């Protein structure tokens, strides 16, 4: 769109959403520092209870931060328009992505229920503050994410594999990484797996299923956290007739502060 | 029923549920020590999503621990039969309690969704371990609970007042009481109000809306926690055509350990 944003970290959520509503399409990593970003999943009301129970049963991967009921296009932590105020959306029919678009007003229906789901961006700031390096931020790339051989607990018509994100952590700092992220249970919390990727059925860390690979240096341990892409993996497996998600990396910038999800 | 239970704290959840299924009706305070007890709310599927979103929006009062979808009568933390394995139930029609019964098979329908909701019994053990006295346990009575002037965030057809439980705490131990219960965010967490009951619209602590009054001694501060009776207050306000709850104090004894809800 030709928009130049010189300091996206300094924008308020309202300012960021206004740019996205105006047509700017960009990944949101680093935008509106200190404000919580969220995954979006939109489903017809007829499927929404089963998805919400799926999320409750797999809360580490699918922590529901807020819900807009049918007829609502804002939420208590998102004082904007869910149909236009994310930078990009992915539209699914029968579990297949059929479009990636900057707004979804033309797809919207009165029976759609919108879920905002926690994102590990929230705890990455805390990792950095604790001196734990975050490789994909250093590299300026998207975090690597992997489908695993761990099945989520199903709920009604929803089922699918656990998806994880991976960050390589120096062995002496793994304890800190666990301790820091455990304090954010509402946004994936502590790691689900630390060490050998084969234990999750991951055969090649250099070939993530989503995002981009990162370097793992000598003396570093791969650390795996439950990932908010899990709901979209469940959509792909469970094939609801219609769904909308955010485009990977193009998150909802909310009015909740990261600190709101910190426990003592 | 003539059953004599000499040491209910020592029973496993399975043993406790078996007694209740056999007809024993008793409050569950002190039963199956260390195992989580839960509030029950059962609603027709047609109302269930709106209630679950109400619970999400008021998670301090209505923490959903597990859900049984329509057609299910057990849950991952309740390996029993939700229709028979609580000691007593309260049946509502149009928001009015119409029956209090030992089992609800005759009321059951295939479209009912069951919610298990966290209960402050979970953190009372931790309060006692921290040396914080719990007056209603000392007195052998039910905890006093109050309707407040704080409105819950509504969701669809569900609305209602926040209900709180009150425990008087010696002023020098209020800090400990907050610290200890904050570590259980999934079961009401930290207090919502500490001090003057008028701030919650409560005019007389000696006349609770549910449960029994307790003595407040010199030097003690009334401390208020969000209460799992809030969902039943919402049923009374919102008047769904049909609902089932547990009878107050007659909880679901689950297979989850209290420690499962402790955060670091």
Per-residue pLDDT tens digits for A31-63: 999 999 999 999 999 999 999 999 999 999 999
Residues A76 and A27 in one domain: yes
Virtual CA dihedral for B70, B76, B82, B87, nearest 10 degrees? -160
Q: Do A76 and B183 touch (CB under 8 A)?
A: no
Residues A220 and A244 in one domain: no
At A90, the pLDDT band (50, 70, 90 cuts) reads very high
Residue A122: CB atoms within 10 A of its CB come to 27
What distance in Å separates residue B54's CA from the closest CA in chain A?
A: 9
Residues B159 and B201 in one domain: yes
Total domains in the fold of chain B: 2
Q: Of the candidates A50, A179, A263, which has its C-beta nearest B185's C-beta?
A: A263
What distance in Å separates residue A116's CA from the closest CA in chain B?
A: 12
Both tokens assigned to A56:
């409750």
Range of the domain at A74: 8-118+239-256
Asked if the C-beta of B111 comes within 8 angstroms of chain A's C-beta atoms, the answer is no
Residue A264 in any domain: the answer is: no
Residues B71 and B102 in one domain: yes
Q: Do B263 and A182 touch (CB under 8 A)?
A: yes
Residue B263 in any domain: the answer is: no
Q: Do A179 and B49 touch (CB under 8 A)?
A: no
Helix (H) or strand (E) holding A57: helix A45-57
Residues B82 and B156 in one domain: no
On average, the pLDDT of chain B sits at: 94
* Torsion angles phi and psi, residue A69, rounded to 5: -70, 170
Both tokens assigned to A215:
């370097």
Three-state SS at B4 = coil
CATH of the domain at A188: 3.30.2040.10
Residue A2 in any domain: the answer is: no
- For residue range B183-232, what is the model confidence (pLDDT) as tens digits? 998 899 999 999 999 999 999 999 999 889 999 999 999 999 999 999 99
Q: How far apart are CA B83 and CA A153, in angstroms?
A: 23
Give the DSSP letter string of B102-121: S--GGG--TTEEEEEEE-TH
- For residue range B51-108, what is the model confidence (pLDDT) as tens digits? 999 999 999 999 999 999 999 999 999 999 999 999 999 999 999 999 999 999 999 9
Residues B112 and B41 in one domain: yes
Asked if the C-beta of B12 comes within 8 angstroms of chain A's C-beta atoms, the answer is no
Residues A111 and A127 in one domain: no
Short-list B83, B71, B73, CA closest to B111: B71
Helix (H) or strand (E) holding A246: strand A242-246
Virtual CA dihedral for B75, B94, B60, A235, nearest 10 degrees? 50
CATH of the domain at A98: 3.40.1640.10
In the DSSP assignment, the letter for residue A247 is P
Least CA distance to B184: which residue of chain A?
A263
Residues A112 and A127 in one domain: no
CA end-to-end distance (rounded Å), chain A:
43
Residues B22 and B110 in one domain: yes
Q: Do A264 and B155 touch (CB under 8 A)?
A: no
Residues A45 and A126 in one domain: no
Residue A134 in any domain: the answer is: yes
Whether residue B264 is predicted with pLDDT greater than 80 in this model: the reply is no
């Amino acid at each position: 769109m030709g928009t130049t944003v010189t300091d996206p970290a300094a924008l308020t959520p309202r300012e960021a959403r206004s740019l996205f509503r105006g047509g700017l399409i960009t990944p949101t990593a680093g935008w509106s520092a200190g404000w919580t970003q969220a995954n979006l999943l939109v489903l017809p009301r007829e499927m929404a209870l089963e998805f919400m129970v799926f999320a409750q049963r797999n809360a580490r991967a699918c922590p529901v931060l807020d819900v807009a009921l049918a007829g609502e296009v804002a939420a208590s932590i998102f004082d904007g328009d869910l149909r236009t105020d994310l930078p990009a959306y992915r539209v699914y029919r029968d579990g297949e992505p059929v479009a990636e678009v900057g707004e979804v007003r033309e797809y919207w229906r009165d029976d759609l229920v919108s879920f905002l789901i926690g994102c590990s961006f929230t705890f990455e700031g805390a990792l950095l503050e604790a001196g734990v390096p975050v490789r994909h931020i250093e590299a300026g790339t998207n975090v690597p994410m992997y489908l695993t051989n761990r099945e989520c607990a199903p709920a009604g018509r929803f089922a699918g594999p656990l998806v994880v994100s991976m960050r390589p952590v120096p062995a002496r700092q793994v304890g800190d990484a666990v301790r820091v992220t455990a304090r954010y249970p509402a946004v994936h919390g502590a790691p689900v797996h630390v060490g050998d990727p084969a234990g999750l059925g991951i055969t090649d860390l250099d070939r993530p299923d989503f995002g981009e690979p990162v370097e793992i240096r000598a003396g570093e341990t791969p650390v795996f956290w439950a990932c908010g892409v899990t709901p979209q993996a469940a959509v792909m497996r469970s094939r609801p007739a219609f769904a909308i998600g955010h485009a990977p990396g193009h998150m909802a910038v909310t009015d909740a502060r990261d600190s709101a999800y910190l426990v003592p």
